[in-house]
Amino acid sequence: MLARKKGYDGKFFFGTVVTRLTSSCLSLCCRMDSVAKALEEVLTSALPQGCITVGVYEAAKSLNVDPDNVVLCILATDDEDVKDVALQIHFTLIQAFCCENDINILRVNNTRRLAEILEGEGKQSGGEPMDLHCVLVTSPHSTSWKDPALSKVNRFCRESRCMDQWVPIINLPER
């Protein structure tokens, strides 16, 4: 073993491991920030095209009718939502459906920021807040949507699945 060699104190090995882990964590944080920005771009470009479906029940209906048209599923929660058993069951069913139909899924913290990004989509006709726990991004029927931001988000989802993280979690930073 290396530790038994004369003059080896183990500092180089552990220092290298810590340095690699630290740089790996920093690159992951930067990557997640860039994915959060890309997600914001996707949502702001899809919104005027009418390619956003908001709400758990509305999303379930849309997934049932035309799953091939859905390009991204966003499940949004805040800390208090974790204890909502009914919501977690809905999330499990939606996740299973999305996995079965090869739809990329992201879990997003900070529903308040999501509401800001979606502007008017966050309110119902009576001014009451809408259910932002599930947001679907669909592809416009008229064109094949080639959005670099969407490609970045989809690549992040694919890479996360390769690391056995089937539903990656990102934090939408406050503005």
Cα(46)–Cα(38) distance, integer angstroms: 12
Tell me the pLDDT tens digit for each residue of 72-127.
999 999 888 888 999 999 999 999 999 999 999 999 998 999 999 998 555 555 66
Average pLDDT over residues 60-68: 95
Burial profile 16-40: b = 16 or more Cβ within 10 angstroms, e = fewer: eeeeeeeeeeeeeeeebeebbebbb
Measured CA distances, 36 to 64, 76, 84 (Å): 27, 13, 25
Cα 136–Cα 138–Cα 142 angle in degrees, nearest 5: 165
Domains in the chain: boundaries: 10-171
CATH 3.30.1330.30 is right for the domain spanning 10-171: yes
What element of type H or E holds 92? helix 85-100
Per-residue pLDDT at 173: 83
pLDDT of 45 over the 80 cut: yes
Q: Where are the beta strands (DSSP E) in 40-165?
A: 52-54, 70-77, 105-109, 134-138
Average pLDDT over residues 133-144: 82
Per-residue pLDDT at 31: 64
Cα(98)–Cα(108) distance, integer angstroms: 16
Q: Would you state the structure tokens that stand for residue 114, as one six-digit string? A: 């999501």
Confidence class of residue 2 from pLDDT cuts 50, 70 and 90?
A: very low
Q: Would you state the structure tokens that stand for residue 29, as one six-digit string? A: 């944080």
Per-residue pLDDT at 26: 42
- Ranking 6-15, 16-25, 94-103, 160-169 by mean pLDDT, the lowest is 16-25
DSSP-derived pairing of the beta strands 105-109 and 134-138: unpaired
pLDDT of 5 over the 70 cut: no
